[in-house]
Structure 1
Amino acid sequence: MKIAFIGLGNMGGGMAANLVKAGHEVRAFDLSDEARGTAQGNGCVVFADAKEAVQDVEAVVTMLPNGGIVKSVLEGDVFGHAPAGAIVLDCSTIDVATTRALSEAASAQGYAMVDAPVSGGIAAANGGTLTFMVGGTAEAFARAEPILSAMGKAVIHAGDAGAGEAAKLCNNLILAATMIATCEGFKLAEKLGLDSQVFYDISSKATGQSWSMTSYCPVPGVGPQSPSDNEYKGGFATALMLKDLKLAMEAAETAGTSTPLGQHSKDLYEAFAAEHGALDFSAIIKSL
């Protein structure tokens, strides 16, 4: 399949490379010369203009920083330039309202569209083990699923347009709060004289167990390899977690629901990101 991929950053670069490995012809675009060069080295055909990249493709995948950029790219470079009938897969994490508006605009111009934000971080993007939560019609999901499966280990249809974004924001609200609680538990255990490995061995088999502990432990040298073992470099940047939490809080306000732990987590990550936004979000243990 001929696929355009727009947005070749930390996540998109690995995702595009996995599409090539799966046998697709990937026409890639990014504003960064370095990102385009890496993509070319990974087997993509690179373009200096997004409008050129989407010519004659069957699908367009976007992985972009925020809703404003997604809107600008889709409305300015994809709609009306990609062939009518192509499917658009937006894997960015953006607000639900923008996603639904863009889905309607895509449909009006003859395109199918899904929102397909990801969970898993840079290592999963490179390894092709992402989880995709997908919003869109059943027909659009059926078309998108084989493409997403080439980049991930799980592709789940969450519901209609915007449902994928909703699932991502709710998931990361839980992740943020759980990571902070995990960090607090480890620091308290340390202050009370417990060895971190011993505490891990106990809590990982008890009711305190969570993904934040057993798959992504914030304490170096404990549990499986994680960003904490690399001075909190790589992984999922604190600035990106903060972005997702802000989107989640906006969604909560719009929905009229109370999320006190989510709000407190947002405040803690906001303070930490002021100086450490580039570090993995588990580095918030440094602030305790």
Structure 2
Amino acid sequence: MNRTVAFIGLGHMGAPMAANLVRAGHRVVGHDLVPAALESAVAAGVLPAPSAAEAVTGADLVLSMLPAGRHVLGLYDEILPAARPGTLFVDCSTIDVADARTAHGRATAAGMRSLDAPVSGGVVGAEAGTLTFMAGGGEAEFAEALPLLDAMGGKAVHCGDAGAGQVAKICNNMILGVSMIAVSEAFVLAESLGLSHQALYDVASTASGQCWALSVNCPVPGPVPASPANRDYRPGFAASLMAKDLGLAANALRAGGIHAELGLRAAELYERYAERAGSAEDFSGIVRTIRERSTERP
């Protein structure tokens, strides 16, 4: 059944997600604080709204894709009074677990229903409609949102109650960040010992070292033609976003008293790398930092 969807946050991720909803036949009313972002979404068939509050008026479902928890909570304060009672709010931002649970609480207190549904797959996945959604909230709410999530992604997993989607996201990206550092260090070690990139890839990609960071997002040019390394590390998944996600994971690790040396160290390394690379480089570009800091050679 086609729905009227309000989509707030039409940046690099939100715009192609909204466009995929339009292609699926839904009526999408969008808003973004950046005029150029809104114009781009309108070109893809999104109906413009002059404010977020006006976008949600009459919507069956409200989607949001914003940078941080404070933006989500500020948005909810603005739009909850404007929405129809019982409207389903689905936040696809990657934010702190505590902020996600606070957003759920505010929505419920206002007579609404909600899901946290962060995504994995980056801009490429958003454009291709192959994102993975990790949802936290009620089973009925997940079932209602599922047709729209399917229109924007290749897989949607109901992870549990409020905040569970954010938990799954930060755990997944902690695995990814740690594994990318390990793969990058292995390639730099191989270089220093005279082993070619292709030889290491041919072995590790079919042996116990095989992982997504190697076989899909290989941090060196050559072995995987589609990886950002072959485009001078243009993202992809930007270094700043990985630093953000690992920072959220680090906060949760410390709050929970979890002994996780690699997760915390990965957060430190990506924070340092992102200070230089920002959003201009893919997170796999950390291999260049490792190479630059490896001043001693055998």
Taking structure 2 as the reference length, the TM-score comes to: 0.95
- Aligned partner of 2:170 in structure 1 is 169
- Aligned partner of 2:122 in structure 1 is 121
Give the distance between the partners of 2:48 and 2:260, measured in 1 at CA.
43
Secondary structure of the equivalent of 2:6? Answer: strand
Moved over 6 A (4+): none
User: What is the identity, as a one-letter code, of the residue corresponding to 1:84?
Assistant: P
Contact 1:136 1:162 (8 Å CA) reproduced? yes
Give the C-alpha shift of residue 234 in structure 1: 2.2
Give the distance between the partners of 2:50 and 2:215, measured in 1 at CA.
42
Give the distance between the partners of 2:201 and 2:210, measured in 1 at CA.
9
Contact 2:138 2:161 (8 Å CA) reproduced? yes
Question: Where does 1:57-136 land on structure 2 (aligned, <5 Å)?
Answer: 57-76=59-78, 78-136=79-137
- Residues 187-213 of structure 1: per-residue CA shift (max 9 Å, x gap): 111111111112111110000000000
Contact 2:68 2:95 (8 Å CA) reproduced? yes
Give the distance between the partners of 2:228 and 2:114, measured in 1 at CA.
34
5+ residue gaps, structure 1: none
User: What is the identity, as a one-letter code, of the residue corresponding to 1:70?
Assistant: V
Which deviates more from structure 2 when the two are superposed, residues 174-183 or residues 256-265? 256-265
Q: What percent identity do the matched residue pairs reach?
A: 47
Give the distance between the partners of 1:171 and 1:46, measured in 2 at CA.
34
Give the distance between the partners of 1:199 and 1:153, measured in 2 at CA.
31
- Aligned partner of 1:208 in structure 2 is 209
- Residues 24-54 of structure 1: per-residue CA shift (max 9 Å, x gap): 0000110111101110100000122111111
**Does structure 1 residue 27 correspond to structure 2 residue 24?**
no
- Aligned partner of 1:281 in structure 2 is 283
- Aligned partner of 2:221 in structure 1 is 220
Cα RMSD over matched residues?
0.9
Contact 2:235 2:283 (8 Å CA) reproduced? no
Contact 1:136 1:159 (8 Å CA) reproduced? yes
Secondary structure of the equivalent of 1:75? Answer: helix
Which deviates more from structure 2 when the two are superposed, residues 235-244 or residues 64-73? 235-244
Q: How many residues align?
A: 287
Contact 2:8 2:63 (8 Å CA) reproduced? yes
- Aligned partner of 1:4 in structure 2 is 6
